[in-house]
Amino acid sequence: MSYNASQIEVLEGLEGVRRRPGMYIGGTDEQALHHLVVELLDNATDEASSGHANRVQVILRKDGAVSVWDNGRGIPVDPLPRYPDKSALEVIMTTLHAGGKFNDQAYETAGGLNGVGVSVVNALSAWTEVVVERDGYRWRQRYERGRAVAPLEQLEATRRHGTQVTFFPDGDIFPLTRFDPARLVEMCRAKSYLNRGLTVLLRDEGNTVEQTFLYPDGVRDYVREMVPGEQRVIPEPFAGMVERFGEDGRGRLEWAMAWTTEERGRTLYYCNTIPTQDGGVHETGLRAALLKGLREFAEARNLLPKGVELAPEDVLDGLTGVLSLFIPNPEFAGQTKDRLTNAGVARRVEAIVKDSFDHWLHGAPERATRLVEVVIERARDRLNRKKNQTRVTRKSATTRLTLPGKLTDCISSDTSATELFIVEGDSAGGSAKQARDRNTQAVLPLRGKILNVEQANLEKFEANAEIKNLITAIGADHGKAFNLERVRYGRVVIMTDADVDGAHIASLLLTFFYRHMAPLIQGGRLFLAQPPLYRISTGAETRYALDDAAKEQMVAAILKKKANAKVDISRFKGLGEMDPAQLRETTMSPLSRHLLKVVVDDPVATDDTFDRLMGKRPAERFRFIQEKAPFAKDHLDI
């Protein structure tokens, strides 16, 4: 094939964004869709962090559009010298790398850095409308797929100031254009506690839900909310703030940390209000400061037993908290900003936090000694587990693996083809064993609802028979010792009844896999089976419907084709009610089944959901139910 100048294409305006959205927002999936809101929230809270706004409002409209408003200075509307026929607003909305954040005159610190945020939202939206209040007037302009469709319009006079951007994502770009209200809640909550004193209001017009977030004491307030007093090793979080961070003094560092009685903790890292899900240099600095501080205190007080040395996991595993950093010109790995990379930040964070931590420890020796005792106990547990694992490993090298008695294994050992189906109860297990392909499909029945690992301590976890069977059948250990290469099956499939109890069992299993075998999910090897809820028969033809909506659609299609057709509808009470042929056809055969791959597209939100829904705090669970109740009104299974 020839290659010459005629094949060179130059994309004008924002067309490059529409052709390659993954370069700017990481893809076109659900996470990328919500990243559009993140970009607008970043701009709004940049006004707040710079001292020009104290209110932000997010509206999820009935038509599916999202509106983000702030009472900041308002995007400039006067003409730019280089573009005399266009306002600054139009240039910002339709041109990449146009904005007020390339120098330090408009913003000292900002989350939106490259002048691509709002223009990318505009490019990937079916339509966008911007209303600006400044210079004594309201101004409005509308765009479609990144292009202005009318000149900037001057409206009525006003003394108010601010910016409102409303957009509807383009269905030609995104397969799904529906926003998840729960995600928007977490976004708004985070922006509020990261900007102390900022009021963030979220309104969901479709479900008539309105929530207001305000944290006067910033991240300290949020950590107190995340970790109730009875779960804290030390009553008050270790918290602090430095107003002049960095060599030029234009940054800010704020943190709050609480050691908990839980096996795991959850520490969130932010830079300029942007969640850095993969951490980065600020995380490195914090971890080093806490580890060194506790080691030095324990050594100075002769608290360490002989043969025990504190490791990072001993200090950090039970830690829950937030570290928030504001700096000029942050450097991230990629446009989606998952990891902070600025040189020198780790050293400065470590020095500041370490100095504050030393004062906190030595200022209250009894409190600090209590913390060290807890950390030493974790170190002992770690060393004991390591000894036990060493003994088991040596034995396993010469002894055949003993599989659980209820596991019906497959013949093949080729992980590219094999599957393990985890089913609830012996009845469903019996049907699944007869329905399976014995060459490639294994079946492990579980007895009832497994242990909720989010609430269980280590002793209960290790003693639970069903958990042991799961770990042994999968064959790759768990926790930090989990080895994805040793997993015995190419796919692990959770197969539960299509009812409330089945959903609860699936939730318990998902909690186990997320907390103890996370690489299995990251490797794309965990799935949810989709058994049908209804069998619909008409004459000799039988169809299956996954849910009520699919049932109604199928019945309507049958009656449209033949108005007087006799339709027989039966509902399955569980997998055990299906005969093997039905189970094979609807749920297990690769030729006709539907599987949902389990993915984590937002680690912070996912972690928060497991913690609130499955954790030990009934108040958080109750609040979670209250937040979700309006969205579940049509999905009750009573």
Rounded CA separation 472/407 (Å) = 10
CA neighbor of 297 nearest in space, from 240, 350, 232, 371: 371
Is there a catalytic annotation at residue 501?
yes
Residue 491 phi/psi, 5-degree rounding, is: -130, 145
Q: Which of 355, 499, 577, 585 is catalytic?
A: 499
- Sheet strand arrangement including 419-424: 441-446, 419-424, 491-495, 526-529, 595-597
Rounded CA separation 208/201 (Å) = 13
Task: Find the length of the chain.
Answer: 638
For residue 556, the surrounding DSSP H or E stretch is helix 548-561
Q: Are 213 and 188 in contact (CB under 8 A)?
A: yes
Q: Which of 135, 205, 501, 577 is catalytic?
A: 501
- 3-class secondary-structure state, position 51: coil
Q: Which of 39, 42, 254, 497 is catalytic?
A: 497
Tokens of 556: 């309507």
CA atoms within 13 A on the CB side of 424: 23
Rounded CA separation 547/499 (Å) = 10
Helices (H), 20-101: 22-25, 30-49, 88-94
For residue 292, the surrounding DSSP H or E stretch is helix 281-300
Is there a catalytic annotation at residue 180?
no
Q: Which of 424, 454, 602, 608 is catalytic?
A: 424
Rounded CA separation 193/220 (Å) = 8
Beta bridge partners of 424: 446
Taking every pair of Cα atoms in the chain, the longest distance, rounded to a whole number of angstroms, is: 88
> Taking the CB of residue 503, how many other CB atoms lie within 10 A of it?
13
Residues 6+ apart with CB under 8 A from 444: 404, 406, 407, 408, 420, 421, 422, 423, 429, 469, 470, 473
Rounded CA separation 331/340 (Å) = 6
Tokens of 541: 């033809």
The separation between CA 108 and the C-alpha centre of its own chain, rounded to angstroms, equals 29
End-to-end CA distance of the chain: 64
Q: What is the DSSP string of 612-635?
A: HHHSS-HHHHHHHHHHHGGGGTT-
Give the residue numbers marked as catalytic.
424, 497, 499, 501
